[in-house]
Chains A and B, each alone.
Chain A
Amino acid sequence: MYSGKLLMSLVLTTLSLCIAIYPPAARSATSQENNSNQSQNKEDQSQAADPGKPAPDDQTKVPVSNIKSAPTDEGQLATVNNAKIPSYAKVYVAPIPGGFENYIIAGLRNKKVPLTVVIDRTKADYEISGVSDSEKAGWAKMLFIGSQNSNEQASIKISNLKTGAVIFGYSVHKTNSARGKQSAGEACAKHIKQIVLE
């Protein structure tokens, strides 16, 4: 009787510990990536069904069906009609909560992206805007995984300021990011480089 109760309590403790260790962000990372593709398909279908319905983002003048996804190792990338940015075009990086815009600018420099970053929006041809989120390591992660690295996620978009069209979008999720926001910023810059004409 006692041994049965003991066994049950042991199983319950192990289960609760497992749930505590495994971060919810990591649990949902793969499913989120799949979901983003699915939601994009759903959006496509809804747009096709109701062409008169305005796009949720006012800046998106180009139909959503023109957005092409490219497979990447660490995030979701989408370009519109294979749009390209001319080299040394003037780019303004809009403020992002948490100062992530500084990490993007530093990433552009580290990855030698041939763009001119300006601090005045009126002088720019393109604008980079986005969101970022940082999740610090909890006690359970430190105890069971022995890692104190944070989880970083960010999503950016590039819009042409003259036409107002969004020409590029990229999302990154890094679990156990060794260099924190720097890694996420450099990942964004690396993928921006892909659409810059050299």
Chain B
Amino acid sequence: MSSKRNVVSILALLVVAAVSTALAGDKNAPPTQKIPKGAKVFVAPIEGGYDTYLKDAIARKKVPVEIVASHDQADYEITGTAESQKASTAKKVILGNWHSREEASITVSNIKSAEVVWA
């Protein structure tokens, strides 16, 4: 009699566990935000040839990723925008500053899952 009760209670527990797991699966889970070492990364063209500078910087800073030339070979993609504004004559004369103003923003996305992993 007691063994039957035990079996029933174990079964009930298993059912509850299965239902709760299924419900948890429906919720949105936070994305994994790490790029594995040696991942293949494609840098998409960015205005003003900024992608070239970015590729050069990745190599100089020894970032442990592999840059590929084709989008099809890549696991991750870097897209972005960049804007460079040269110092105007007014800036040079009035502020005595001849440095340009640089603005850039990039996004790294996982090509397979289509999720943005870093920005």
Contact = CB atoms under 8 A, between A and B. Distances in A.
Interface of A: 86-90, 98-100, 102-103, 105-106, 108-109, 114, 116-120, 123, 136, 138-139, 142-143, 146, 148, 180-182, 185
A117 B28 CA distance: 12
Given A102-B106, A117-B116, A139 B95 contact: no
A99 B80 contact: yes
Contact of A105 (B82, B88, B103, B116): B116
A109 B103 contact: no
B9 interface: no
Nearest to A120: B114
A20 to B, nearest CB: 12
A119 B31 contact: no
B70 interface: no
Interface of B: 27-31, 47, 77, 79-83, 85, 88, 90-91, 94-95, 97, 101, 103, 105-107, 109, 114-116, 118-119
A148 B101 contact: yes
A146 B105 CA distance: 27
Nearest to B31: A116
A103 B80 CA distance: 9
18 contacts: A90-B28, A98-B81, A102-B105, A102-B107, A102-B119, A103-B105, A105-B107, A105-B119, A109-B118, A116-B115, A116-B116, A118-B115, A119-B109, A123-B114, A139-B88, A139-B94, A148-B97, A182-B103
Contacts, number: 84
B95 A118 contact: no
Contacts of B88: 139
A142 B114 contact: no
A112 to B, nearest CB: 11
A117 B115 contact: yes
Contacts of A180: 101, 103
B101 to A, nearest CB: 7
B103 to A, nearest CB: 5
A116 B29 CA distance: 9
Contact of A139 (B90, B106, B114): B90
Nearest to B77: A119
